[in-house]
Amino acid sequence: MNLSNKVAIVTGGAAGIGRAISLELAKQGAKIVLNYNRSQDAANLLVEEIKSLGGDAVAVQADVSKYDDAERLVQKAIETYGTLNIVVNNAGITDDALILRMQESQFNRVIDTNLKGVWNVSKHAAKPLLKSGYGRIINISSVSGVMGNAGQSNYSAAKAGVIGLTKALAREFASRGVTVNAIAPGFIETEMTKKLPEDVVTQWQAQIPLKRFGQAIEVAHAVVFLSSELASYITGHTLEVDGGIVM
Ligand code: NAP
């Protein structure tokens, strides 16, 4: 899947699933605008790794929940590489609690990053993507947004919102050749799922038909496919990468 001469922004691209996405897109030849919020050292190391593999990447600090930061991120992509083809809205956080205990601040923080963040980056990326002649937006949702998850009213709402946003943008951009899709990962081994208690992990694993948590690279492979020419007739879709937990 040749993505050479394509320019990709990956939000939260230095850690976890985002790191795997940045690396896999780079291996297919895409130039990576690697966004991070706090993980500066990891971002710089990954830029070096991509360059050592013969690729090209630049690290850009931006908090996607902030409208102006998202604008600066997109501007930096255009200044550095002159165009923008692929946006992977991957940045996300959890802040779990049952609604009886959840504070308003927990709700707002998760919505601001996981939903508003996707809108902020898409809003600023829209013009350059439409101009570029080859555009892809891939939003990382979650099975929690598809089936709901107790203790995650904030996260499930944000991730379901991402699916609605994906479909709206798919309709807005379809006539201009820009596809917009979502990926809904199930349980993937990253820092995010390391926080889960052992008994919760065992219970969930028992319910996954493939009987294991996924790896970040298994999500990255789906992103590479949706970014490529091979996915040219797919838009507004949510692809579950979840070991079969949602079916
Ligand atoms: P992770 O290891 O905790 O990484 C989260 C990433 O998001 C980090 O790179 C972080 O950047 C970035 N981020 C957080 N807040 C940000 C902000 N305000 N602005 C910019 N970047 C920000 O999590 P992960 O498991 O890789 O999750 C990646 C995505 O997949 C998320 O959207 C998550 O909801 C989704 N997902 C994960 C799973 C799973 O099982 N792991 C399942 C379904 C969906 P810094 O470190 O630089 O702050």
CATH number reported for the structural domain that contains residue 142 in this entry? 3.40.50.720
Q: Is the CB of 188 under 6 A from ligand 1?
A: yes
Q: Could you tell me if residue 54 is inside a domain? A: yes
Q: How many domains does the chain have?
A: 1
Residue 155 designated active-site: yes
* In a domain? residue 245: no
- Residue 179 Cα to ligand 1 midpoint, Å, equals 23
* DSSP-derived secondary structure letter, 112: I
Condensed to tens digits (0 to 9), the pLDDT of residues 123-176 reads 999 999 999 999 999 999 999 999 999 999 999 999 999 999 999 999 999 999
Indicate whether 173 belongs to any domain. Answer: yes
Q: What is the pTM of this model?
A: 0.98
pLDDT in tens, 31-84: 999 999 999 999 999 999 999 999 999 999 999 999 999 999 999 999 999 999
pLDDT at 195: 84
Main-chain dihedrals φ then ψ at residue 135, nearest 5 degrees: -130, 140
Contact 83, 7 (CB under 8 A): yes
Q: Which ligand 1 atom lies nearest to the CA of residue 187?
A: 40
CA angle 131, 25, 72 (to 5 degrees): 50
In a domain, 243, yes or no: no
pLDDT in the model for residue 1: 75
Query: Which pLDDT tens digit goes with each residue over 159-173?
Result: 999 999 999 999 999
- Is residue 186 in a domain? yes
> Does residue 39 form part of some domain?
yes
Residue 200: inside a domain = yes
Q: How confident is the model at residue 122 (pLDDT cuts 50, 70, 90)?
A: very high
Residue 1 lies in a domain: no
Continuous segment of H or E residues that includes residue 108: helix 104-111
Choose which residue among 32, 187, 190 to substitute to test ligand 1 binding: the one with the highest number of ligand atoms within 8 A of its C-beta.
Answer: 190
How far apart are the C-alpha atoms of 74 and 36, rounded to whole Å?
A: 13
The string of DSSP codes covering 44-103 is HHHHHHHHHTT--EEEEE--TTSHHHHHHHHHHHHHHHS---EEEE-------B-TTT--
What's the domain range around 177?
7-238
Q: Which residue type occupies 96?
A: D
